Amino acid sequence: MVTFIETTYVKTGPPNHKFWLVKKDTPYEKLYGQTCSLKISDDIVRYISDHFFWFKTLNPVGKNFSGLNYEGITIINQDIAPIFERTCFLLSELFEMHPNPVILRSHDIHEVSEQEIGFCDYETDRNKLVRDLRELANFARITAKGEHKIIHFGL
């Protein structure tokens, strides 16, 4: 029989998803090896990614995609920037109400022993999380004006 033990809390950290705000004619290939505009921990992206799946994004070959491409590249253009902005901002508002640090409930299970398992939840600084989401919302606000796009590199 397997017994559940207490949840383990792990600080969020690398690996990170990378985001750039670039001119709309900038090819994504130019970004390889470049410092990104914003990094967000994979733990956070996994936690909030369901909020992005219902709107259409693009992958580099111009095909429609839903949400953020977890392991690849996502392009967020002017068409979806307003809803992306609103989603990121509302998430920032939600997390701003949370006590610091924020505990992100996870479904990740780790084996402690042959008879014990536990959940691995993630702890992150609320203020940094809110700042990062508002920065992403700001990227989208700028993108909505038509001269820029957001490029996301997944893992």
pLDDT, tens digit (0-9, with 9 covering 90-100), for 60-90: 876 778 899 988 999 999 999 999 999 999 9
137: DSSP letter = H
Please provide the size of the chain in residues: 155
Backbone angles phi, psi at 84, to 5 degrees: -65, -45
Domain ranges of the chain: 3-153
User: And the tokens for 116?
Assistant: 């014990």
The pLDDT value recorded for residue 33 is: 92
pLDDT, tens digit (0-9, with 9 covering 90-100), for 117-128: 666 778 899 999
The pLDDT value recorded for residue 120 is: 72
Provide the pLDDT confidence category of residue 151 given band limits of 50, 70 and 90: very high
Beta strand pairing call for 148-153 and 73-76: antiparallel
Question: Is the model's pLDDT at 47 over the cut of 80?
Answer: yes
User: And the tokens for 62?
Assistant: 């111009």
What is the rounded CA–CA span in Å between residue 151 and residue 19?
Answer: 6
Pair 130, 16: CB distance under 8 Å: no
Pair 10, 121: CB distance under 8 Å: yes
